[in-house]
Amino acid sequence: MRSAAVVMGVVLLMCFSAGARAQTTAAPPAPPVDWTGAGRFTLGADALAWWLKDSPAPVPIVTDGILGATDTHTLLGGRSLSTGANPGLRISAGYALTDRTGVEASFFYLASRSKSAGVASSGELGSTDLFVPYVDAITQQETATELSMAPIYSGSAREEVGNSLQGAEINATWALAPAGAWRIDLLAGLRYLRLHETYTLTTQSPYTPAFGPDIWDTTDRFDTTNRFYGAQAGVRTRFDEGRLFAGGAIKVGLGAMVQSADISGALVTNDFTAFGPTQTFAGGYFALPTNIGHYSRTAFAVVPEITLNLGYRLTPAATIVVGYSLLYASDVARPGDQMSRTINTSQSTSYTEDPDAHRDGPAQPAFRFNTASFWVQGINVGLVVRF
């Protein structure tokens, strides 16, 4: 019995020793991967493809007769023009002050884009005569001036719109208590926007070759810039599931929209120098001495933004993000809206063919700010790095 007890004791001791050795040599279980990243700094870069609201060109520019006549058609103008998708870039940065508070900033820029359309008449016998329609400021009647007249002179006109957009914002963030995979952040900060747009009309009305080497070129340019300075607040939510996350944000900015308009116009011709050196006269067809100049004012504006994003974490530090944004501004000045069709032609060599033209009668066209709402929307693809 004593020997059996000794043997049993030795076996138990061996088992205990083997178990102890197994516990000391086995690798500890791997901790779960933190796909949210552990760094306090974030840097992001996005490629943008955003569409701006079509640029208005509501004024009929060129017709084939007097507006209002049953057989008259608008050949140029009278419709909005789209510049398509503007490519751009957005850079963002953030820093987590604590687990629940932080500060972040971003800047975006959309490259300039333009769109043009034109019409022309050869001035040969049988060709369609082109007209620039307007309302006479003295008679208040619809009338027109010839842009081409067969067989004396040909005519052509081209309208072009251009635009660019940039903006920046800085926000403080505060996270509500997390609820499982959901995270909700409150945002408050400042926003800046700058929208620059142009509308340019160029025409040429030279004599046909039989009458000499003639130059009769006009340019009308309407240039507007809108700068928004405001405070904003918003909320952002995100749902995390392993490597994937989805989220969205709503922000609303309130502040000042500083609107400015620059109008210029000129006629270049050699008609008064026997087809020799050219001369330049103030005023085209819609930009005339009575509205040429620089104008500015400040208006109250509301600028809300909605963003949606999907992300995939390549590593705990690097994430690919694709998203959609819609940005709106309640009150902007756009170049095509600043054109007036009520014109006193006495001030313009382009209309009177008088090199000594001077105004007699009402100061028309007169400038006044016309404003409208504006939006831009588009997609983004980018990379966010946390360190």
CB-based contacts of 234, cutoff 8 Å, min separation 6 = 171, 186, 187, 188, 249, 250, 251, 252, 305
pLDDT at 219 over 90: yes
- Percent pLDDT > 90 in the chain is 85
Query: Is 308 contained in some domain?
Result: yes
Within a domain: residue 37? no
Q: Which tokens hold the place of 112? A: 């300039």
pLDDT at 57: 83
pLDDT bracket for residue 212 (50, 70, 90): confident
Residue 352 belongs to a domain:
yes
> Confidence class of residue 209 from pLDDT cuts 50, 70 and 90?
confident
**Cα(185)–Cα(173) distance, rounded to whole angstroms?**
6
The least confident of 25-39, 86-100, 252-266, 312-326 is 25-39
pLDDT score for 339: 96
Can you tell me the mean pLDDT for 277-298?
98
| Structure confidence at residue 36 (pLDDT) | 52
Residue 211 confidence class, pLDDT cut points 50, 70, 90: confident
The predicted pLDDT at position 4 comes to: 38
pLDDT tens, position by position, 224-243 = 999 999 999 999 999 999 89
Q: CA-CA distance, 216 to 218, in Å (whole number)?
A: 7
Confidence class for position 20, pLDDT limits 50, 70, 90: very low
> According to the model, what pLDDT value does residue 15 have?
36
Residue 70 token pair: 């049953």
Q: Is the pLDDT of residue 12 over 50?
A: no
In a domain, 249, yes or no: yes
pLDDT at 39: 79
In this predicted structure, the answer to whether residue 54 has a pLDDT above a threshold of 90 is yes
**For residue 154, pLDDT beyond 90:** yes
Q: CATH no. for residue 72?
A: 2.40.128
Q: Is the pLDDT of residue 26 over 90?
A: no
Confidence at residue 280, expressed as pLDDT on a 0 to 100 scale:
98
Residue type at 308?
Answer: L
Kindly report the number of other CB atoms within 10 A of residue 360's CB atom: 9
What whole-number distance in Å separates Cα of residue 111 and Cα of residue 124? 42
**231 Cβ neighbours under 8 A, 6+ residues apart:** 188, 189, 190, 191, 253, 254, 255
366-379 tens-digit pLDDT: 999 999 999 999 99
**8 Å CB contact between 188 and 235:** no
- Provide mean pLDDT across the span 43-54: 98
Q: How confident is the model at residue 19 (pLDDT cuts 50, 70, 90)?
A: very low
Range of the structural domain that residue 317 is part of: 47-386
Categorize the per-residue pLDDT at 41 as very low, low, confident or very high, splitting at 50, 70 and 90.
Answer: very high
CA distance 128 to 75: 11
Q: How confident is the model at residue 58 (pLDDT cuts 50, 70, 90)?
A: confident
Other C-beta atoms within 10 Å of 126: how many?
A: 7
Q: What is d(CA 327, CA 330) in angstroms, rounded to the nearest whole number?
A: 10
Cβ atoms of 135 and 62 closer than 8 Å: no
Distance CA 377, CA 382 (A): 16
Judge whether 369 lies within some domain.
Answer: yes
Tell me whether residue 12 is in a domain: no
Q: Indicate whether 340 belongs to any domain.
A: yes
CA angle 358, 363, 364 (to 5 degrees): 105
How many CB atoms sit inside 10 A of residue 184's CB? 15
Residue 3's pLDDT is 39
Mean pLDDT along residues 135-142: 96
pLDDT for position 196: 98
The answer on pLDDT for 182 being more than 50 is yes
The answer to whether residue 302 is domain-embedded is yes
Q: Which pLDDT score, from 0 to 100, does residue 35 have?
A: 52
- C-beta atoms surrounding 236 within 10 Å: 19
DSSP track, 226-238: EEEEEEEEEEEEE
Interval 72-99 mean pLDDT:
95
Provide the mean pLDDT of the chain.
91
Count the domains in the chain. 1
Determine which helix (DSSP H) or strand (DSSP E) holds 25, and give its type and residue range.
Answer: helix 2-25
In the numeric block, the tokens 């609820």 are attached to 179
